[in-house]
């Protein structure tokens, strides 16, 4: 319980750091520019200066935060493999009370309950049949968790690419100004250069935390996978024994 609380605190600290990055680092860029003689910009002013590609980057940052909160809430051991439920299932199976096991998991949507429900449907068909259906349901549960966290990986890859795309379009804009004879107009050149630099920074600011978060949740899913596989093995053994009684 304490371990889960510390991990939850760790995730929240990471989100806080992300907030500091967007709330502090980016505005400080404007302050530095002002110190150098440029006019200071607000946060939204920087986004506007970053050009059109800043909007999908910002959308990705919102999606990253939303996914992180959802994963913190849903990928908990007590929700995926609740220990109290596992203990009760084991106890009823040892007492050959299959009907009690069925009532225990009825209407529940956690991984343990879905495995138990599928196994009970094949009760009496032999160990091999039970093992096959339990393994199939367990694999689906693990696949669903991996698919869920894969969106963070996608964000981690796409965001820097969007930043790079903004860099390219910004530099093209700057070179077009030069080609049009605007080399002596710093304000026009600054617009393209700002777009190039700001989108690069924004893409990395979103992409790096997304990569870290994906790594954290991937490790969590791996631990949950081990717990699911352990329960599935024990469940098949106990259910097979109860059939012989």
How many domains does one find in the chain? Answer: 1
* 37 domain-assigned: no
* 103 domain-assigned: yes
Cβ proximity of 134 and 21 under 8 Å:
no
- Report pLDDT for 81: 93
Q: What's the count of helices (H) and strands (E) in the chain, helices before strands?
A: 10, 0
Number of neighbouring beta carbons within 10 Å of residue 99: 10
Q: How much is the average pLDDT of 148-175?
A: 89
More confident residue, 244 or 156: 156
Cα gap 156→211, rounded to integer Å: 5
pLDDT tens profile 1-57: 445 554 555 555 455 545 544 444 444 444 444 344 444 566 676 676 677 888 999
Residue 183's pLDDT band (cuts 50, 70, 90):
low
Q: How much is the average pLDDT of 183-211?
A: 79
Residue with tokens 């959802």: 70
> In terms of residue numbers, what domain contains 177?
52-244
Number of neighbouring beta carbons within 10 Å of residue 62: 10
Q: How much is the average pLDDT of 152-167?
A: 94
Q: Residues with Cβ < 8 Å from 113, sequence gap 6 or more?
A: 85, 105
Cα gap 222→150, rounded to integer Å: 13
- Report pLDDT for 184: 57
For 43, 126, 153, 201, 203, the CA distances from 208, given in Å and listed in that order, are 20, 50, 10, 11, 8
- Report pLDDT for 43: 62
Q: Residues with Cβ < 8 Å from 36, sequence gap 6 or more?
A: none
* 96 domain-assigned: yes
More confident residue, 31 or 150: 150
- Report pLDDT for 116: 94
Helix (H, G, I), strand (E, B) or coil at 95: coil
In angstroms, the first-to-last Cα distance of the chain is: 37
* Torsion angle defined by CA atoms of residues 179, 182, 184 and 186, in that order, rounded to the nearest 10 degrees: -110
* 17 domain-assigned: no
pLDDT tens profile 66-85: 999 999 999 999 999 999 99
- Report pLDDT for 126: 84
């Amino acid at each position: 319980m304490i371990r889960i609380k510390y991990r939850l605190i760790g995730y929240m600290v990471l989100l806080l750091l992300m907030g500091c990055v967007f709330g502090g680092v980016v505005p400080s860029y404007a302050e530095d520019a002002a110190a150098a003689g440029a006019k200071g910009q607000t946060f939204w002013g920087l986004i506007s200066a970053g050009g059109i590609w800043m909007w999908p980057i910002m959308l990705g940052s919102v999606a990253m935060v939303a996914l992180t909160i959802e994963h913190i809430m849903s990928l908990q051991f007590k929700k995926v493999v609740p220990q109290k439920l596992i203990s009760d299932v084991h106890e009823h199976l040892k007492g050959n009370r299959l009907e009690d096991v069925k009532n225990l998991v009825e209407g529940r949507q956690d991984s343990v309950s879905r495995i138990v429900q599928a196994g009970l449907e094949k009760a009496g068909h032999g160990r091999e049949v039970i093992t096959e259906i339990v393994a199939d349901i367990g694999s689906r549960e693990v696949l669903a968790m991996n698919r869920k966290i894969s969106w963070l990986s996608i964000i981690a890859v796409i965001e820097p690419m969007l930043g790079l795309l903004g860099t390219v379009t910004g530099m093209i804009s700057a070179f077009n100004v030069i080609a049009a004879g605007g080399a002596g107009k710093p304000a026009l050149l600054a617009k393209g250069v700002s777009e190039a630099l700001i989108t690069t920074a924004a893409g990395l600011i979103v992409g790096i935390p997304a990569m870290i978060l994906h790594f954290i949740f991937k490790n969590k899913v791996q631990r949950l996978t081990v717990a699911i596989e352990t329960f599935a093995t024990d469940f098949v053994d106990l259910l097979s024994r109860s059939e012989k009684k």
